Structure 1
Amino acid sequence: MSTEDDVRRLATALPEVSEKPSYGTPAFFVAGRIFARMHEMPEVLVCWVPDLDEKEALLAADPAVLFTTDHYRGHASVLVRLAEIEVDELAELLGAAWDARAPRRLRETGTARERL
């Protein structure tokens, strides 16, 4: 089980991450680009993924943890049930989201997954 505090701790440990509100909820940005934010639904995280193919693979692999809604159709992100995801899995998702959104100059210094 993970919490919003785990999200915050893991996300802000990544290089050049800042936290500020987006759509009225806490959000995490790398070099000004959002890569994750808390959803309006309680205990749900919106997490960017590299592309739509990765999104579909993640959704198929673990539908108890990851899901989407019509609002996010065609968007490279998944919704994460924090109560259903282990902290190490959450760290992997946030690292992948950071990698997907970080500028090349940051990615060239190593992946986010190596930093967590």
Structure 2
Amino acid sequence: MTDTLSRLREIALLLPDVEERESHGQPTFFVAGKQFAQFRDDHHGDGRVVVCVKTSGEDEQAMLLDAAPDTYSKPAYLGPSGWVAIDLSGDADWTLVEDRVARSWELAAPRALLEAGGR
């Protein structure tokens, strides 16, 4: 877990104006006070290691879940808001994780930050 969280932390903290703090007992990443990524390790005993990220909405969420069910799942609590969980166990695709975390950051970041150049 520590190596996985460290790697995720490196990805998230490279993005502008990111703050990490615990939310609901989980390491969570925020931009301008808005959550955009949450690390979960055995959340409520599910035995999984994932990062939860925002999508543009239910259509994108459904497309990702259908296209890659071994990679994406609907996370507890955040799923109804269009979030997906990305499996970080085994041989995770870290290029995909980096892209999805950055996209989630873009969806949460304030317009002024995006207009200033964002990432």
Q: TM-score range by the shorter chain?
A: 0.7 to 0.9
| Alignment coverage as a number of residue pairs | 111
Q: How does 1:1-20 map to 2 (within 5 A)?
A: 3-20=4-21
> Which among 51, 62, 85 is matched to residue 56 of structure 1?
62
What residue is the counterpart of 1:102 in the other structure?
109
Which protein has greater RCO, CA pairs closer than 8 Å, 6+ apart? Answer: 1
Unaligned 5+ runs, structure 1: none
Preserved contact between residue 4 and residue 43 of structure 1 (Cα < 8 Å): no
> With structure 2 as the length reference, what TM-score do the two structures score?
0.83
Residue 80 of structure 1 and its aligned partner are, at CA, apart by 1.2
Residue 73 of structure 1 and its aligned partner are, at CA, apart by 4.4
Preserved contact between residue 36 and residue 53 of structure 2 (Cα < 8 Å): yes
CA 8–63 in structure 1, closer or farther in 2 if over 3 Å, else same: same
Letter in 2 for 1:31: A
Residue 8 of structure 1 and its aligned partner are, at CA, apart by 0.5
Percent same amino acid at aligned positions? 31
> With structure 1 as the length reference, what TM-score do the two structures score?
0.85
Preserved contact between residue 50 and residue 96 of structure 1 (Cα < 8 Å): no
Q: Aligned-residue CA RMSD in angstroms? A: 1.9
Residue 87 (str. 1) matches residue 94 (str. 2): yes
What residue is the counterpart of 2:22 in the other structure?
21
Q: 2:63 aligns to what SS in structure 1?
A: helix
